[in-house]
Chains A and B, each alone.
Chain A
C-alpha cells in the first residue's frame, strides 16, 4: 500500500535543447502531502507529467519504493505506472465527456482487471460521492465543472493508488468544490497514501500540505516543512511576480535553502520535521 516516489536530478524537455526541468530532485513519502509551488513556467506541471510517465526524462531518475522493493521507473510509460499504483489528476478536464459517469468510473479500474473488485470500488465511490450516484447514467460532459473534478478524483481512486498526483485541483471550480477537494486530499494523505500536489492557490495548498517544494526555472529553489513557509508566503509570491528587487537573488542564506540531495533520504527529513 505505502510507496515513496523520488526524482533525482531530473532533466526533462518537450523540445530538444530546451529543458523545462533542470536537475529537479524531490521525494514524496507515504502519509505525506507534498505540494509543489512556483511561478508560471517553473516546471510544476511538467514535474507531475514526468512522475506520471507522460514525459520521459532525458536524464536523472524517477524511482518508486514500495514495501517490497525499489524500482527505477524513469522509462516506464504512463499506462504501466497506473498498474504500479500511481494515480494522476491532470490539469483541466479529463473526463470522457460522451461516456456516462458510470463508464468513466469503471474505466478507473482498467489497471485492476478484476471485475468484482472494480464493482466494489465503484459502489464505494457512489457512497463517498452521492452526487455522482444521482447522475450515474448522465454523460460526464453534462456535469458541472466541479462535479467533473469530483468524478476525476473518484475515478482515480477506483484502482486504489498508493500515490496520487494532483495538478491544480481547485482551478475553475466553485469554492465549495475546491474546499471539498482539499479535504479529500487531506483524507487520502491520512489514509497513508502519498499525495503530490501542484497548485497556483498557494494558501489553500499550504493549508493541507506537509512539505513544500518551491520551484524556480525547473529546479527546487527552496523546500521544507509547511510551517516554515507561513511568514514568507507574501515575499514568495512577490518574488514570482518579480515585484521584489531581490527577485533573482538566490535564497542561499535562508534557513530552508538546501535542496534535497539524491543521497539524502527524505525519511530523515520527515523524522526531523515531526520530532
Chain B
C-alpha cells in the first residue's frame, strides 16, 4: 500500500511538471496547428539559464523560470514572425521543415557554445524529503510541482476568464469567426507561439533541479511534450494535465516495476501506442478545440 501511495504521489508531482513541459506544445499545435519542433530546445534553454544564473548569482531556478518567460517570449515571437508565419503560409509541411532546420541549428549552436556535457543543478531546496500523507517525497519534486501547478493555474484562469484568453480559444476553434469579431488573428497567433515558448522555457528552468540535462536531452523533452499532447489532446490546460499525469504516474509505476534502462523504452512505447490509438499520428493531436 505504501508503495502504491509512493508511486501515486511521485507520479502526480512528475505529472504536474510534465504537464507544464507539454502545455506549450499543446497551445502551439491546438491553436495554431504548428508542430513546434523547437519546443525541446526552449525547455533546454530554460534549464541552461537556470544553471548559469544559479552558478553566477545563486538565483533560484524558480526565479529564473519567471525571468526566462519574457526572454523566450520575445524569441518565440520573432521566430513566429520571421520564419513560422511565412513558412506556414506556403504549407504546413514547409513550416515543419523550417522549424526542423531551426531546431538543428539551435542544437548545433548550443553544443558549440555550451558544450555537449551533461550538467545537473542542485538547488537550496534539493536533498530533503517532505512527508505528504505518510509518503516521503523529494523536496525538489514538491517545490517544482507546486511552481508548475501555480503556473498552470494562471494559464488556465487566463484562458478561461479573460477576454484575451477567450480570443485565444476562439482562434483555436474558428479563426475566421474570431477575425470578423475583431480579433487580430496574426498578432494573437504570434502571441500564442510566444507564450508556448515561454512556458517551455519556464518548465526547463523548474525541472533543471530534477533531471540532468545536456544538448541531447532536448529530444527527450520534445518527445515528452508529444506524449502529453497525444495522450491528453489539445483541449487546453486540463487536457494537458490528463496527458501529463498519465505520463507521470505511468513513469513512476514503471520505475518500480522495471529496470531503469527499460523505462525509457516503455515511455516511448507509450508515445507509439498513443499515435496508433488516436490514428493519424502526431497530426491527430491537432484538435483545435481549446
B residues 172-192 near A (Cβ < 8 Å) are: 173-174, 176-185
Establish whether residues A110 and B169, one from each chain, have CB atoms under 8 Å apart when the complex forms.
no
Judged by a CB distance under 8 angstroms, whether B81 is at the interface is no
Known: A79-B182, A79-B185, A111-B182. A99 touches B177 (CB 8 A): no
Establish whether residues A99 and B170, one from each chain, have CB atoms under 8 Å apart when the complex forms.
yes
Which residues of B are in contact with A by a Cβ distance under 8 Å?
163, 166-167, 169-170, 173-174, 176-185, 235, 289-290
Question: Looking at the complex, which of A90-98, A120-128, A263-271 is the stretch in contact with chain B?
Answer: A90-98
Please, which residues of chain A bring their CB within 8 A of the CB of B289? Answer: 97-98
Establish whether residues B176 and A94, one from each chain, have CB atoms under 8 Å apart when the complex forms.
yes
Establish whether residues B167 and A110, one from each chain, have CB atoms under 8 Å apart when the complex forms.
yes
Which residues of A are in contact with B by a Cβ distance under 8 Å?
52-54, 77-83, 87-88, 90, 94-99, 103, 106-108, 110-111, 155, 159
Nearest-neighbour CB distance to chain A for B286, whole angstroms, equals 14
Establish whether residues B181 and A107, one from each chain, have CB atoms under 8 Å apart when the complex forms.
yes
Establish whether residues A79 and B173, one from each chain, have CB atoms under 8 Å apart when the complex forms.
no
**Cross-interface CB contact of A82 among B163, B169, B170, B180, cutoff 8 Å:** B180
Establish whether residues B167 and A96, one from each chain, have CB atoms under 8 Å apart when the complex forms.
no
Known: A96-B173, A97-B289. A110 touches B180 (CB 8 A): no
**C-alpha spacing A100/B182, complex, angstroms:** 19
Establish whether residues A110 and B174, one from each chain, have CB atoms under 8 Å apart when the complex forms.
no
Listed A/B pairs (27) with beta-carbon separation below 8 Å: A52-B180, A53-B180, A54-B176, A54-B180, A79-B179, A79-B180, A79-B184, A79-B185, A81-B180, A82-B180, A82-B182, A88-B180, A90-B176, A96-B177, A96-B178, A97-B289, A98-B173, A99-B166, A99-B169, A106-B163, A107-B166, A107-B167, A107-B170, A107-B181, A107-B183, A110-B181, A155-B181
Establish whether residues B182 and A110, one from each chain, have CB atoms under 8 Å apart when the complex forms.
yes
Please, which residues of chain A bring their CB within 8 A of the CB of B181? Answer: 79, 82, 107-108, 110-111, 155, 159
Please, which residues of chain B bring their CB within 8 A of the CB of A83? Answer: 182
Q: Can you name 10 extra interface pairs (CB under 8 A) apart from A82-B182, A98-B173?
A: A78-B179, A79-B182, A96-B174, A96-B177, A96-B178, A99-B173, A106-B163, A107-B166, A110-B181, A159-B181
B185 nearest in chain A by CB position: A79
Please, which residues of chain B bring their CB within 8 A of the CB of A111? Answer: 181-182
Known: A98-B169, A99-B169. A110 touches B176 (CB 8 A): no
Nearest-neighbour CB distance to chain A for B192, whole angstroms, equals 15
**C-alpha spacing A84/B139, complex, angstroms:** 55
A103 nearest in chain B by CB position: B166
Please, which residues of chain A bring their CB within 8 A of the CB of B183? Answer: 79, 107, 110
Which residue among A53, A110, A159 has the maximum number of chain B CB atoms within 10 Å of its CB? Answer: A110
**C-alpha spacing A159/B179, complex, angstroms:** 14
Ranked 7 nearest A-B pairs via Cβ:
A111-B182, A82-B182, A94-B177, A96-B173, A110-B182, A88-B180, A98-B289
B170 nearest in chain A by CB position: A96
**C-alpha spacing A82/B180, complex, angstroms:** 6
Please, which residues of chain B bring their CB within 8 A of the CB of A95? Answer: 174, 177
Establish whether residues A54 and B182, one from each chain, have CB atoms under 8 Å apart when the complex forms.
no
A118 nearest in chain B by CB position: B163
Please, which residues of chain B bring their CB within 8 A of the CB of A79? Answer: 179-185
**C-alpha spacing A78/B178, complex, angstroms:** 10
Please, which residues of chain B bring their CB within 8 A of the CB of A78? Answer: 179-180
B236 nearest in chain A by CB position: A98
**C-alpha spacing A98/B160, complex, angstroms:** 12
**C-alpha spacing A187/B68, complex, angstroms:** 54
Which residue among B163, B174, B181, B235 has the maximum number of chain A CB atoms within 10 Å of its CB? Answer: B181
**C-alpha spacing A108/B290, complex, angstroms:** 18
**C-alpha spacing A94/B174, complex, angstroms:** 7
**C-alpha spacing A244/B205, complex, angstroms:** 74
**C-alpha spacing A157/B290, complex, angstroms:** 25
Please, which residues of chain A bring their CB within 8 A of the CB of B174? Answer: 94-97
Please, which residues of chain B bring their CB within 8 A of the CB of A108? Answer: 181
Known: A79-B184, A107-B181. A98 touches B176 (CB 8 A): no
Please, which residues of chain A bring their CB within 8 A of the CB of B170? Answer: 96, 99, 107
Which residue among B169, B177, B183, B235 has the maximum number of chain A CB atoms within 10 Å of its CB? Answer: B177
**C-alpha spacing A159/B183, complex, angstroms:** 13
B289 nearest in chain A by CB position: A98
A155 nearest in chain B by CB position: B181
